[in-house]
Amino acid sequence: IVSRESQTTDSVIDVSGIPIGGQQIQVIGGPCSVETQEQMDLSAQFVAAAECRLMRGGAFKPRTSPYTFQGKGKDGLTIFRRAASKYNLPIVTELMDVRMLDTFLEHDVDIIQIGTRNMQNFDLLKEVGRISKPVILKRGLSATISEWLMAAEYIAAGGNHNIIFCERGIRTFETAYRNVMDVTCIPVLKRETHLPVIVDPSHAGGKSWMVPALARAAIAAGADGLLIEMHPNPCEAWCDADQALNPQELKDLMASLKGIAGVI
């Protein structure tokens, strides 16, 4: 279903009125995690001011250590929904457990993110395949492109074709940055699938100063959009502080993309 053989034209996913895929480039901005109402209100304000049309934020966080902040959970969804609605921003947030799916739907989550660590959680994939909400499917830490396509096929096989691929860096021998953003996968995926492809340079580079260069490379290579971590005050972020752009950096990045894509 996800392959070019089944559909030659590019799919455009409608996210609460905002198209992902096709002619426009969409940038999803927001903090790594939902912290407080004030932090999310400020984030939404800055995301909208930078002209990003969608917002991200994690309420359930897949942290490496069980002793670090695990996310605000259900309360985080309420905070996020309230903040984003003030600026008419559709929201993207990660689902880790099938038992929380109804809660996500009750909170009107606009895009369900399946994170890197769950790319091959087949029960989770089947469950989001049964609904029609758009899904961002992040690439697994060491997933090949064919494994990634097959993971998407699990969702599509259930009837949900609203799938967006998200490259977020893969693990290699290199230690100078968090992950290697695989630019090569962009043209390969665009050839193999009709579905949109976005890139998350924040989790790839892991440092805020790398993000603009990686973001521009992704758009130049044909990505349909970006997922960018920002924070009203990055040094105070509870999670992924090093890679968060501050509000001005987000604005500057958005301005610098215009020259490449010419379509934002």
User: H or E element: which one contains 28?
Assistant: strand 26-30
CA distances from 221 to 15, 106, 116, 173, 262 (A): 23, 37, 22, 24, 14
Query: Which range binds Mn ion by CB under 5 A, 9-17, 131-139, 216-224, 236-244?
Result: 236-244
Residues 187-226 vs Mn ion: string with x where CB under 5 A? ----------------------------------------
Return the one option of ligand PEP, Mn ion, none that residue 168 interacts with (CB less than 5 to 8 A, by type): ligand PEP
User: Which of 94, 167, 192, 240 is in the footprint of Mn ion by CB under 5 A?
Assistant: 240
| E runs forming strands in 115-154 | 135-138
Q: Give the integer Cα–Cα distance in Å for 93 and 104.
A: 9
Q: Which residue's entry shows tokens 């962009």?
A: 186
The distance of closest approach from Cβ of residue 261 to ligand PEP in the complex, given in angstroms and rounded to an integer, is 22
In the complex with ligand PEP, the residue whose CB is nearer, 156 or 204, is 204
In the complex with Mn ion, the residue whose CB is nearer, 108 or 242, is 242
In the complex with ligand PEP, the residue whose CB is nearer, 169 or 194, is 169
- Which residue of the chain is nearest ligand PEP when measured via CB? 115
111-114 and 91-94: which strand pairing? Answer: parallel
The closest alpha carbon to 140, from 154, 129, 127, 130, belongs to 154
List interacting residues with Mn ion (CB under 5 A). 32, 240
